[in-house]
Chain A
């Protein structure tokens, strides 16, 4: 039996969380993998904590709001300390259908990868996000291509599977704000095999995106700088 920690960072996700957890529970019977949901409550102001507790989940309750990166890393630290074989990141808003988890696991074992990213754009299925968002994603694709000569079609996807090697690296360092594209560079620079698999995503069920309209320019700028500096830093 291989243990998979399903890391679900949550900020005010009381509506979507029960659906997500129930879908994960239904998966349990399928493979020789054991899925264990680990909910990270990042100082929600709604009843996320109570909802998660009632669902009998492992809940990591952060005393201060750390943002998505800090929350995900908390889950990764939990997976590391409790000796999990895999860590799967899944957004608490229902965007990432748990039914697709299998695809990530198959991709990892078949292609001998350390990190598998669920991509919306590898095969154009399901929810495709807005035009502006896609332009940003293409920009990161180009930047990552220039720096690492690898093609990552969906660098902002937070639907990821990490093996033990990748967990060790993310345990040591994981970016704070908008961490997804930066983390890819981090993994590649640490000589991990990073790959993608096509998945369907849905539109969020509840909550709001962490990136508003005005924040998106800042996002592009901040993440570009972070990517470049992560690249330089781990080149030493």
Chain B
């Protein structure tokens, strides 16, 4: 095993531990953690299996393996950002309903 592999694996495990800590502390919901755990697992797989990247690149037909890494990473980030936009939209909608409900209830209370 080469030095860079060990570094990559170590970083991946530290990252995984950090995610676990966030979940334990209640700062990260499990539904969002799934994505991060999946990413870390992919990182660990390719850190251990060094030839894996070349195999995958050849399989898909990408000339230069690093390009596969970038394309894959960018795609994953875009999908996750879209997911976050959906989440923010939902929160905004809920936030609006709550604010309206508060305004209506306060008015009702003051009338009594």
Contact = CB atoms under 8 A, between A and B. Distances in A.
A66 B107 contact: no
B107 A62 contact: no
Interface residues of B, number: 10
B104 to A, nearest CB: 6
Secondary structure call for the A interface? mixed
Contacts of A77: 100, 104
A74 B100 contact: yes
Contacts of A90: none
B106 A74 contact: no
Nearest to B95: A64
A74 B98 CA distance: 11
B10 interface: no
B103 A81 contact: no
Interface string B59-99: 00000000000000000000000000000000010011001
Interface of B: 92, 95-96, 99-100, 102-104, 106-107
Interface of A: 40, 58-64, 66, 70, 73-74, 77-78, 81, 176
Question: 9 smallest A-B Cβ distances: which pairs?
Answer: A60-B103, A74-B100, A62-B103, A64-B99, A70-B96, A63-B102, A62-B99, A60-B107, A74-B103
